[in-house]
Structure 1
């Protein structure tokens, strides 16, 4: 019985080729030495030197290809083709899974729990306290410097911390099953704050892992997957969990969410490598001790001015979004119709928009795409100034477009912040930028509601549109920094 011939692996084949080239280079050296010893009649060695240079160039190219094509995927996850480009799946799967496991508890506390509390007779001021879930995301800069180091005691590397935090989040959320909304609302709010602290820390570590382990193009698709997964988590946390509560029990729905968190933490257990895998080294890494020095270093960045002004404009542009549901009600839609348009149609459209944004970021870069989308955002906001003169269907279309753009721009801002952050201080840089972003968006939404009471919708939408144009302008001021980071 004939056997198929054995074929050497790629690594063995490259090793054989490299050894053959080294042998030819050594042979060339020997011939050159012979010519020197034979005297002037044999002294013409120019062709031999050219041969040596050519062989060395070929060997150098082979070594570079060997390094670039070596296994850079983490664990058992392998490279695939996404959007026509070779891409490592590890960043996409890790970002998507952990964004979803953050999203389910977070949006349960901000969208699902208020409905349950109201149904049990809670007052509106008590329901308003459920939004404390977003406070840790605005203050995570306080503990961000601690995670600048790639290894932090007691758990070690970033993947080890993600595994621990996923268990901690599931455990905290499981405690919710012990307390009923009608009897222990303040305990549930306190648990929501604990879960939010864990979620904010997961966001920090996950972003740091991506900055260290993925190049710019891989991060673009990973951020797209993260936003899409966060939206999916919002749908599950605000709708599916309450449906389980109606069909079975409060305890059953909470246990289901806790198990979901654990299931979606599995990629952190599959990945074996916990060190940079695709980003070229920039030299010796020097990490400052956690504290004020890390924040001072970030504030001394040569492009900090345009970045801060861009974040301020992001908050201005997003602030008016809080008025869109009220605008739909004023244009004749019922509360259930407005909820369906924004909670199902608009929110669902964010998922394909996020992946389209990922493709655009890979193809054209974050600066060009962010600038174009903020011009589109400004156009939608300017149109909403005259919403009172439009048909209700037109206003609904503008509202859906506004939400869709908001989701796509979230992908862009994550990408922008990760590109701006340094690899040596990834947690501090990303934490400061996203904390300021969260605070200003919260302030923008609060201010929009107060201002609209006195001067109406139109002025608020006009101010938000100017903020969108300002965001476009300041993003383009960051283009030099982005160009420098494009090779990372």
Structure 2
């Protein structure tokens, strides 16, 4: 009789290890705010009657994720609660996030669009700060043999959290509204007077829209339960025993940058940075407004939540695994180039969906392809960033490069909104394909510089 443990037994055993379970919770905590501000908030504004071009500007509130490295040294120097630098900052940011979301739930995009956008910005800033603390904690608490497994489990927790704030919040909003559909009624004189370029215009709210607005408020309050889990667990975190504190802010800020630009010269460093910014640009263009795209096609929020957001989790996890296996087989650079091409090509599925119109099976297929290819791209991009980092300055350089990676995702919203408003959905996704192929061409032409800078074949 064969008593050897099965794969499922080994999988469950991982989470019985306290350190690995901690990685799951920290990854979960890190992922919770992202979809709330990147996707669900946009749909809340659409339900309140805001037009798509104006909604697209909301993507700018995520700018703190891009520039989080600017205040990272502050977290290295300051022990905010006196219980350890990492644990103290993790707890502080998690408590602030709960307060901010509770405040947001009391407002309405129709009545206070700028205030909600500002709170959304504060959520992104606090979330980015939490990411700094969590990444530092993971780096210091995991030994070399644990880092790969620990980070993989953290990504799993991160994706589960995105499902909560990207899917469950939509289901709750749909449930509390009783399935009511939004009615968009703009005051004609105001629209005529201000034009279409104003960020937000006053909107007359009918009773149906009030019901929908209240349903979103209740949904936000409900998901706070999923946020409260994090600080309750993190109260019992073990602070890393020994960490190196920078001698000065000047040292923490300057040396990682100087080394990076001196390694292979300024020109090579700049090309590398531009490639990192643009690597997932095609994927980001498709992602920035895809929730609104599906709603515009006529899919209800529950369908979007279950068939799109939940299904994307499986495609993402499979893509991460497949991407890692392919990279191990053919190498980092070849995978980096190949995945950039398939990420761009995946957006052609959305072109087909835009032409065909509302089609459930085509929507699910498009989501599967986009998230599968996007996950492979994510896996290889992280591997490339790790290769580009000098181990002497790994924390700061990784924070800088990962922040730069998010720059394209943050800034793409207004561009996507402009293209969609002038060339419709088909034009937007064709544009994303062209941009992705241009990035692939740059990667190919810069292959020698990339290999030298990252010390890879």
1:246 is matched with which residue: 154, 158, 177? 177
**2:323–2:380 contact (8 Å) kept in structure 1:** no
Partner of 1:287: 246
Using the alignment, how far apart are the partners of 1:424 and 1:383 within structure 2? Answer: 38
Normalising to structure 2: TM-score of the pair? 0.67
Using the alignment, how far apart are the partners of 2:70 and 2:13 within structure 1? Answer: 38
Q: State yes or no: 1:298 paired with 2:257.
A: yes
Partner of 1:108: 36
Partner of 1:140: 68
* RMSD (Å), alpha carbons: 4.8
Partner of 2:228: 262
Structure 1 residue matching 2:331: 3-state secondary structure: helix
Using the alignment, how far apart are the partners of 1:333 and 1:179 within structure 2? Answer: 23
Alpha-carbon deviations, 1:346-400, whole Å to 9, x = none?
5444433444425864896599367426514414635767997999678974663
Q: State yes or no: 1:462 paired with 2:424.
A: no
**2:24–2:153 contact (8 Å) kept in structure 1:** yes
**1:361–1:369 contact (8 Å) kept in structure 2:** no
Structure 2 residue matching 1:146: 3-state secondary structure: helix
Partner of 2:331: 368
CA change 1:240–1:163 in 2 (3 A) is farther
Q: State yes or no: 1:442 paired with 2:442.
A: no
Structure 2 residue matching 1:270: 3-state secondary structure: coil
1:152 is matched with which residue: 65, 69, 79? 79
Alpha-carbon deviations, 1:282-334, whole Å to 9, x = none?
xx9572422476245334222687675445334434333356589999x9997
Using the alignment, how far apart are the partners of 2:294 and 2:304 within structure 1? Answer: 15
**1:208–1:426 contact (8 Å) kept in structure 2:** no
CA change 1:288–1:431 in 2 (3 A) is farther
1:196 is matched with which residue: 106, 112, 124? 124
Using the alignment, how far apart are the partners of 1:210 and 1:483 within structure 2? Answer: 25
Gapped runs of 5+ residues in structure 1? 1-79, 277-283
CA change 1:438–1:347 in 2 (3 A) is same
Using the alignment, how far apart are the partners of 1:267 and 1:370 within structure 2? Answer: 40
Using the alignment, how far apart are the partners of 1:286 and 1:167 within structure 2? Answer: 25
Gapped runs of 5+ residues in structure 2? 1-7, 179-213
> What are the residue-to-residue correspondences of 1:388-403 with 2, within 5 Å?
397=365, 400-403=368-371
Partner of 2:155: 224
> Max radius of gyration: which structure?
1
Partner of 2:398: 430
> What are the residue-to-residue correspondences of 1:172-211 with 2, within 5 Å?
172-211=100-139
Normalising to structure 1: TM-score of the pair? 0.63
> What are the residue-to-residue correspondences of 1:345-360 with 2, within 5 Å?
345=307, 347-356=309-318, 357-358=320-321
Using the alignment, how far apart are the partners of 1:360 and 1:383 within structure 2? Answer: 15
Alpha-carbon deviations, 1:164-207, whole Å to 9, x = none?
21111111222223334443332222211111111000111111
Range moving further from structure 2, 152-161 or 392-401 = 392-401
Using the alignment, how far apart are the partners of 1:325 and 1:319 within structure 2? Answer: 10
**1:221–1:362 contact (8 Å) kept in structure 2:** no
2:278 is matched with which residue: 306, 316, 341? 316
Structure 2 residue matching 1:300: 3-state secondary structure: helix
CA shift for structure 1 position 134:
0.5
